[in-house]
Amino acid sequence: MFTATLIARPGGLEPSLTESLRNAWGGGDVQWLSPDEAAEFTLAARPGNLWDVWQDVQQMGVDLAVQARDGRRKRMLLADMDSTMIAQECIDELAEVAGVGDHVRAITARAMNGELDFEGALLERMALLKGLPEAVISDVLQTRITLAPGGRALIATMRGNGAHTALVSGGFTAFTGPVAADLGFDEHRANVLCVEQGALTGDVARPILGRQAKIDALEEITARLGITAADVMAVGDGANDLGMLGRAGAGVALHAKPSVAAQCDLRINHGDLTALLYLQGYARSEFVDAG
């Protein structure tokens, strides 16, 4: 048995579209998870024209996913940080302050699209930040970094239902620490910036955390918790997230680079982070108030 889920921005999901699709696919009764925002219905089989329909509803501002009904509610969330749990790329924001923003943003975009080796691209960008005062980090956190919409509800609801939450980033612990604490993650992992005499050296501590480190985090944390990869929902947007997205029971490409989204069955381009709750079958009435 499968479940089809339709998700849009609040007010963006027309009941007529949902009913029409349910009828075309011979689905079960429509269940509204949030009025005019998210709905689901059961299916006996995965539709053969899924991706053609997906493309059509994308033009209407609607995300569509079909997944196995059993085991949708996950026991662990593994989340990327930059452009996923926050709206920015931290290294790009540091680069703006250092006066090399355009150069670094171009490298970041190519790396996240899989055009450049992650480790090499990281070291190339770090070299451009050599000499930047360490104190700039706290200023960037306070003035340039914003949380992605829906993140608080996602973490609070999953933790409130017994799930473990981990933030894993190819960025830096100087950012994942405060972001993880603010959002309520159980733990975080990222690269460590090298600092000498109050300034960035232009390097990061070894080993460098990239694509494989995110897979390792999934395997290590699930083993510690006594669960399996099938119990994990992973979310990310860049090429270095593909390993964990493919390994997790539910890998969600969230507002992802096209080359990344093309390799994932679960793609959210219109909804915010609460879409990950709808994909698991949570109704908005079940969301935990994050305060």
To the nearest 10 degrees (0 to 180), the angle between helices 173-183 and 151-160 is 70
Residue 96 Cα to chain centre, angstroms: 24
Q: How far apart are CA 176 and CA 182, in angstroms?
A: 10
Rounded distance, CA 58 to CA 151, Å? 23
Is residue 182 within 8 Å of 151, Cβ to Cβ? no
Residue type, 287: F
Going by C-alpha positions, the residue among 171, 247, 260 that lies closest to residue 209 is: 171
d(CA 30, CA 290): 28
| Cα–Cα nearest to 290, from 186, 185, 183 | 183
Any idea which residue has 């340039």 for tokens? 144
- Residues serving a catalytic function are 80, 82
Q: Coil, strand or helix: which one is 200?
A: strand
